[in-house]
A = this chain, B = another copy of it.
Amino acid sequence: MLYPGALKKLVEVLCRFPGIGPKTAQRLAFFLLGQSREEVVAIARAMVEAKDRLSFCKDCGSLAETDQCAYCNDYQRDRSLLCIVQEPRDVLVLEQTGRYRGLYHVLHGALSPLDGIGPEELKLDQLVERIKKLGVQEVIIATNPNVEGDATAGYLARLFSPLSIRVTRIAFGLPVGGDIEYADELTLSRALDGRREM
């Protein structure tokens, strides 16, 4: 027997999750088998229910319980400000700061020619249309500080230059509570570049 069919299948589907390899999947599978049937059904149901109840906003691409998300639907928010992020979860993190009151735009990825992700895949034409339609005055680019995120930010800045709007990117530097001694050189050089008058 070695691997019964149902276990093999379970390990296989768990391996599809990002960051979960065969060893971790096997561990998770055995955890599930050790739970009560009700518990396993509750987990399975929560997955399908979340999928059924949640989708992505047709305008900005962030998480939504209806066609349009709560941000796009909130006319108290500043429609002249648009923050561009890579993933829907980035919106939640930015909202947790409580400092941003504009709208969002989720790219659902970053430019990555090697993975075949270009401007069409990120629907950048629609993004430009949306900026024009909303009458946005400042675009804040909040892509990740890594190769893909930097390349995407650079591409977007060039793409938006004919629109005569303000294009900014969130600051990079030392994390609050961080220690200069342990900062890597790249972060430290970005912190120096981004220095401000006191």
A residues at B contact (CB < 8 Å): 1-7, 9-10, 12-14, 16-19, 24, 26-35, 37, 39-56, 63, 65, 69-70, 87-89, 92, 95-96, 108
- B7 lies within 8 A of A50 (CB): yes
- B46 lies within 8 A of A2 (CB): no
Chain B residue numbers with a CB within 8 Å of A44 are 43-45, 47-48
Residue of B nearest to A2 (CB): B95
Measured CB to CB, the closest approach of chain B to A117, in angstroms, equals: 14
Measured CB to CB, the closest approach of chain B to A125, in angstroms, equals: 22
- A29 lies within 8 A of B17 (CB): no
Interface-centre pick from A34, A44, A47, A89 (highest chain B CB count, 10 A): A47
The secondary structure that dominates the A interface is: helix
Report the copy number of this chain in the oligomer: 2
- B19 lies within 8 A of A24 (CB): yes
Of the candidates B33, B51, B69, the one whose C-beta lies within 8 Å of that of A63 is B33
Chain B residue numbers with a CB within 8 Å of A89 are 26-27, 30
Of the candidates B34, B43, B54, the one whose C-beta lies within 8 Å of that of A6 is B54
Chain B residue numbers with a CB within 8 Å of A42 are 13
- A16 lies within 8 A of B43 (CB): yes
| Known contacts A19-B24, A54-B33, A63-B4; A47/B92 CB under 8 A | no
- A50 lies within 8 A of B17 (CB): no
- A1 lies within 8 A of B50 (CB): no
Known: A6-B52, A37-B52. 16 other contacts (CB 8 A): A1-B69, A3-B92, A4-B54, A6-B49, A6-B53, A10-B47, A17-B28, A18-B28, A18-B31, A19-B27, A33-B54, A33-B63, A40-B51, A41-B48, A43-B47, A44-B47
